[in-house]
Homo-oligomer: A and B are copies of this chain.
Amino acid sequence: MASSSEIGLAAGLNILTAFAFLVAFAILRIQPLNDRVYFPKWYLKGLRNDPLQSGAFVQKFVNLDFRSYLRFLNWMPAALHMPEPELIDHAGLDSVVYLRIYLTGLKIFVPIACLAFTVMVPVNWTNRTLEQSELTFSDIDKLSISNIPTGSNRFWTHLVMAYTFTFWTCYILKREYEIIASMRLHFIASEQRRPDQFTVLVRNVPPDPDETVNELVEHFFLVNHPDHYLSHQVVYDANSLSELVNEKKTMQNWLDYYQLKYYRNNQSKRPTMRTGYLGLCGKRVDAIDHYQSEIDKLSKEICKEREKITKSSKYVMPAAFVSFKTRWGAAVCAQTEQSRNPTIWLTEWAPEPRDVYWDNLAIPFVSLTIRRLIIAVAFFFLTFFFMIPIAFVQSLANIDGIVKAAPFMKGVLEVEFVKSVIQGVLPGIALKIFLIILPSILMMMSKFEGFTSISTLERRSATRYYIFQFINVFLGSIITGTAFQQLNNFIHQSANEIPVTIGASIPMKATFFITYIMVDGWAGVAGEILRIKPLIFYHLKNFFLVKTDKDREEAMNPGSLSFNTGEPQIQLYFLLGLVYAAVTPILLPFIVVFFGLAYVVYRHQIINVYHQQYESAGAFWPDVHGRIITALIVSQLLLMGLLSTKEAAQSTPLLIVLPVLTIWFHRFCKGRYEPAFVRYPLQEAMMKDTLERAREPCLNVKNYLENAYAHPVFNNECKWDGSDDGIVSDDEWPKEPALVATKRSNSRTNTPARSQRSESTRTLLCVTDERSCP
């Protein structure tokens, strides 16, 4: 157990590190050279221009205005300055709701910390248990529950505090849930027209011997939603096409580069290149002509491939995006069951077009349930047995192994210093690498499980990451030993012993977790704002790879709030805070500082850096809420276990009421607020429909939706103008009808035969539309 001076030293060191990061950031961010690293969001929005374009040469790269160095911390108030509604406009609701997680942390822990310091610290401090015992102890332990003698009546304080903390946390949680639910509803209500409001994703279209998927979908919805069905878009298996398009994109980029080079040289000398491997060998040809012809060739191939895909039915997957005339129609279809066989014609809200994970759209129902089983088992083994392969790798990667594999290194490796460094570092490396790639492994698992949108994939990965962290970081640190050893222990322990075992070792680990919060939390957040990795990569790319403006855009790599790794990290702090609130309150200020710092830093990053890949309108909040509730229950159970070792027998049973009430509170919130996050009320839909009809009576929804859910590689014509790269970037999908004034004939004309009924219905529909609009 570290003494308070050691903790003070660690705190000082970490504060210094964090401060150094912040100062470094403050200096780096005002250098014009780094402008694109620290303000990429404004570039993407087109609101900021390269400072490289004007001014003296040195000023292009280094900021020489010394007054600006004096105001080096002014980004902090600036970050806090933007009001929430503007922030929603600027960065989307997801980001704002994400920030509210930190804010919730502050709201929960600031009052709890104050209360704990005024009430519990004096109660703990004014005992002499530890001093009278023969144990070694530190000042920190004197502030904790350990300092209270066994069987003391003072434990009533902790009991009352546990109740207070629970009620306060629940109150804040309920209020936040309420606010975020109404923010979400307001956001959805005030949103502009979006294709996903009108569209439903239909999966598991049953095979039919007589009709193609295209016809089948059309007929099914014409029959079952006759007044609301508008159109649909079948899903194609376009992976091969996607590859061709990517290849063409590279070619296009090279062409741009050579053209730029040619114009820069005042069109004096046409650039040449070699056609062989990596441009190092082969015949020397005119580069512009070469790439032009390559692109033409690829364009033709793409057209052929595309035609093949759209013509042949074997590329059609049994899934479709079905669009409706009104939001009401879509809301109805998404929320109801279509067929008497509940495993076919599965409908769900279509994700935003940019949020769709195309590869998973065609997985049949039975396969889905089997995949879920496989992943559940795999995740169990990953969580509890991940140490086995790592230990195996570690046993291979020792000095002897290296000497055997590379005898020439023998001399170097036998130097004592090198040997000790390697032996110290190597075992950790395998684990470190594993922990770095863990989120990707979890993401792959989610992808294999068959979710159809990126947002769901991230949410599911976050859940798994949280469980992994809970077991391997939280429990793993408290009860040292691998997760499997713990599992084995738990199986062999009685249900009431488990909280006792963990609870009893909780106070002893406080100093460890304080250090963890400072290293992982404080320094981590300060490191986040510095963006070291993107900074280095941007400059490397800028020097070696950037050929065109497009390349520079791409080199910026603004990144995004990665919910699947970020949120579980925050949840760990909630867990620590709630568990230690009634045990070792000295931990709370560290948590509060973390939440405060993280809030400011992430607010800055969201305003200036991150560019979200999708907008789920805060759909992840139920998960966040559920995990804080879990943390609350865990803290109550552990306190119960701890108190029972302290022979505070008369107060322990009263604690049983708390988890029951908390679970009930969770169920209440689930019933009260969760539907706002998973369903779309018809009242809202009707309201928006009516408003829209009044505002734009002549709106042609069909045109608007026509290509919204085409696979990205289909989203352009076969006539290339040289600037279109075939991939629709995040912002390019149509937001207003005017943007999609495409004249392409209806994709449905590709289907061989159409029933008379559907034809006539649609004609009738058009007539009605036209008649009502003069």
Contact = CB atoms under 8 A, between A and B. Distances in A.
Contacts of A492: 494-497
A225 B332 CA distance: 11
A331 B336 contact: yes
A395 to B, nearest CB: 25
A485 interface: no
Contacts of A680: 337
A229 to B, nearest CB: 12
Contact of A673 (B220, B342, B681): B342
A377 interface: yes
A449 to B, nearest CB: 13
A686 interface: yes
Contact of A675 (B185, B337, B681): B337
Contact of A676 (B340, B496, B682): B340
Given A369-B668, A492-B496, A679 B337 contact: yes
A328 B376 CA distance: 38
| Binding site secondary structure of chain A | helix
A67 B75 CA distance: 105
A683 B338 contact: yes
Interface string A675-693: 1100111111010000000
A167 interface: no
Given A490-B495, A495-B495, A664-B373, A679 B365 contact: no
Interface string A629-646: 000000000000000000
Interface in A457-497: 490-497
A660 interface: yes
A493 B223 CA distance: 60
A339 interface: yes
Interface string A370-383: 00110011000000
A613 interface: no
Contacts of A336: 331-332, 335-336, 679, 681-682
A639 B660 CA distance: 32
A557 interface: no
A48 interface: no
A757 interface: no
A211 interface: no
Contact of A493 (B328, B331, B494, B682): B494
Interface in A512-532: none
Contact of A369 (B227, B328, B493, B664): B664
A223 B495 CA distance: 55
Given A369-B664, A664-B373, A339 B496 contact: no
Given A223-B686, A227-B227, A681 B338 contact: yes
A682 B337 contact: yes
Interface string A328-357: 100110011111101101000000000000
A672 interface: yes
Given A337-B680, A680-B337, A682-B224, A342 B491 contact: no
A671 interface: yes
A667 interface: yes
Contact of A660 (B328, B339, B377, B679): B377
Contact of A684 (B340, B369, B674): B340
Most chain B beta-carbon contacts within 10 A, residue among A342, A365, A686: A342
A103 B416 CA distance: 78
A671 B369 contact: yes
Contacts of A679: 336-337, 342
Nearest to A184: B340
Contact of A342 (B376, B494, B672): B672
B667 A369 contact: yes
Contact of A495 (B335, B491, B664, B674): B491
Interface string A217-245: 00010011101000000000000000000
Contacts of A681: 336-340, 342
Contacts of A340: 185, 676, 681, 683-684
Given A369-B667, A671-B369, A339 B683 contact: yes
A676 B337 CA distance: 9
A343 B672 contact: yes
A146 to B, nearest CB: 26
Interface string A304-343: 0000000000000000000000001001100111111011
Given A224-B682, A331-B336, A342 B675 contact: yes
B493 A342 contact: no
Contacts of A220: 683
A667 B373 CA distance: 10
Given A225-B682, A337-B675, 19 more contacts: A185-B340, A223-B683, A224-B328, A224-B683, A224-B686, A227-B227, A331-B336, A332-B336, A335-B335, A335-B336, A338-B683, A342-B671, A343-B671, A365-B672, A369-B668, A369-B671, A372-B667, A491-B495, A493-B495
20 contacts: A225-B682, A335-B335, A336-B679, A337-B681, A337-B682, A339-B681, A340-B681, A342-B674, A342-B675, A342-B681, A343-B671, A365-B671, A366-B668, A372-B664, A373-B664, A376-B664, A377-B660, A492-B495, A494-B495, A495-B495
Lowest 7 A-B CB distances belong to which pairs?
Answer: A342-B675, A337-B679, A335-B336, A373-B664, A491-B496, A369-B668, A337-B681
